[in-house]
Amino acid sequence: MSYQSAIAILRCMNCCKFSLLRKLHRQDHSDSGFTIVELLVVIVVIGILAAITIVSYTGVSQKAVLASLQSDLSGSAQKLKMYQVEHGVYPAALDSNNCPTSPADAQYCLKHSFGNTLTYSSSTPYSTFSLIATNINGISYQVTGNSQPTVLAAAPLNPVADWVATAQGDHYGNYYDLVNRGWAGVTRSTSKTIYDPNDGRIHDVPADYLALNPWSAYQSGGRGSAAVIEEARKNSLKNSYFSEGNFAGVATSWASVGGAGTNEVVPGGVYGTMCQRISSPSALASQNYGFAQVGIAAVAGETWTGSVYTKSTYLPTGSWLRVFVQAYDAGNVWIGEVSANVPVSASSFVRVSATYSNLPANTASVRLYAYARTGVTASGGIELSFSAAQLEKGAFATSYIPTTTAAAIRNADVVTVPTTGWNAAAGTLAAVAGTPGNLSNNSYLADWGPVSDHVTMFAIGGTYGRAYGRTVSGDGVYVSSDANPGNPYSVRVMTWQNGGNVVTYADGAAGTPGSGVTTPVGLPAIANVGSHFGTVVFFNGPIQRLAVYSSAFSSSDVTTVTNAVKNGP
């Protein structure tokens, strides 16, 4: 309320007060009573004062809740840090009384205000932690390591589940359900990596955790985090840092291609370790500087993707990096290739990848060939750094899989969530996600059904989604979309109704409704996020949030949810 409004109300109250006093005074000398106008004025003033009191109380109450959550987190974070100073690690877990269990230490039990609950997690080597405080009204705040308490706002319109990608350490974490206050199940027995374009580095992710980037890595100005859920892949290179001896006993290991210069293995790669660096005091126009590799067994009809990170201290104007995936026959004779290129950056590592689909007949091996080509206005010297090379079987490049002496496998991310409160007969799923890595197939955001025949609940891949529903052995709903998304990120919403149509939306705009759908009678205990086991297709892209509702939304409700969640928690 403004200062001028408050003054006006006070003046009105004073007028009413003097009017009432005069009336009371007159009543002492006559039988006249209050007029209707006077009574109405008093009633209006009382109503205004009541409204001001209620609004003020609500605002103070809300501030008190937020203050208690932040206070609980700040105090608990300090205790956890004191525990870490004494024991050298953060607690592995907390018991039901919020006391450390491993190693046990009762003096560091965490306290919280009435009506608040604490959710704690940490992982080997217990060098960081995640702590979430949630009020009975569903308001949540989180703190990790040295971060300040940040709010995790629930989606509107009462979802039955609201899974938000939540940090639990440096670039890794899990989905946290703001409604039911629990973590998703994550299974991946191997560690993995994630590249953060904000800092130009590749970060490690422990086993059984999801790779997380800040949402601002995909959406300018976005808040919160996004998890990248990927399929299993193998980096077939025996050494991805280009050092000689990559293939023991094979003469054609990584070797420089074209141009005079010095090749050396030095620190400073995108992964924070070693990289191959080429330097030369001069650079000729239209000259290639780079490396080639042969020896990875392959057969006709397969699809392979090669990728390399590079940057340059100096290259002439117009220089670029090119990557080839080349096919060779049994006699080591070239029979085909594909390539891709990007401008070389001097400020940070950039990645370029090329995919060779359907290798030609008589293919016996594939080779990764990477080089930078100088511009036509060459002058001065060059210095190129090549790092984190990867050659994998698949239709697109996935996150980097480090290799040093042998090929390495990264297992798939398997994410499961309970279906408590979900409605098989009708529902809505809202997802905040980036463009998936694989657009040649449907990329699945969530599915549910028996392990023997998982059926998809929601897929992404189209501008709006060419969606249709069907019954698969009476198990669930399958929804598919197959066009290239027009945006690098969007809010996708799908609604379904038994006997009705399936409708998908992109950023609030509805696509063509799918055909009628017959939904199953019940639901299994769990659903999967970002995968479809029946066809082994994964999302392979950032998913920030999945909110599930137990009814089919109208277009106006879709707009409400879209506007509320599009910029992050």
Query: Using one digit for the tens of pLDDT, what is the confidence trace for 57-114?
Result: 444 555 676 788 888 888 888 899 899 999 999 998 899 899 998 889 999 999 988 8
SS3 content of the chain, % helix, strand, coil (to 5): 15, 35, 45
Strand, coil or helix: what is 226? strand
pLDDT value of position 465: 37
Please state, for a pLDDT cut of 90, what percent of the chain lies above it.
27
Q: How confident is the model at residue 325 (pLDDT cuts 50, 70, 90)?
A: very high
Asked if omega into 569 is within 30° of 0 (cis), the reply is no
Q: At what angle do helices 3-27 and 36-87 cross, to 10 degrees?
A: 140
Please state, for a pLDDT cut of 70, what percent of the chain lies above it.
69
Q: Which range in 78-92, 216-230, 287-301, 436-450 is most confidently predicted, on average pLDDT?
A: 78-92
Query: Using one digit for the tens of pLDDT, what is the confidence trace for 123-164?
Result: 778 888 888 888 876 678 888 776 777 778 789 999 999 999
How far is the C-alpha of 41 from the C-alpha of 230, rounded, in Å? 67
In this structure, of 169-183, 295-309, 369-383, the range with the lowest mean pLDDT score is 369-383
How far is the C-alpha of 284 from the C-alpha of 378, rounded, in Å? 6
Mean pLDDT of 338-356: 85
pLDDT value of position 287: 62
Q: How confident is the model at residue 474 (pLDDT cuts 50, 70, 90)?
A: very low
pLDDT value of position 171: 92
Strand, coil or helix: what is 216? helix
More confidently predicted of 92 and 516: 92
pLDDT value of position 314: 65
In this structure, of 188-197, 340-349, 477-486, 547-556, the range with the lowest mean pLDDT score is 477-486
Residue 257 has pLDDT above 50, yes or no: no
Contact between residue 142 and residue 153 where contact means Cβ atoms under 8 Å apart:
no
Mean pLDDT of 513-526: 67
Domains of the chain are 35-152 (no CATH), 153-232+411-569 (2.60.120.200), 255-410 (2.60.120.260)
pLDDT value of position 392: 95
Residue 542 has pLDDT above 50, yes or no: yes
Q: How confident is the model at residue 499 (pLDDT cuts 50, 70, 90)?
A: confident
Q: How confident is the model at residue 169 (pLDDT cuts 50, 70, 90)?
A: confident
Mean pLDDT of 398-418: 91
pLDDT value of position 441: 52
Q: How confident is the model at residue 283 (pLDDT cuts 50, 70, 90)?
A: low
Q: Which range in 397-406, 429-438, 510-519 is most confidently predicted, on average pLDDT?
A: 397-406
Query: Using one digit for the tens of pLDDT, what is the confidence trace for 412-465?
Result: 999 989 988 988 788 888 888 887 766 545 566 776 654 444 344 554 443 333
- Residue keyed to tokens 């190693």: 103
In what helix (H) or strand (E) does residue 65 lie, and over which residues does it extend? helix 36-87
pLDDT value of position 235: 94
pLDDT value of position 533: 57
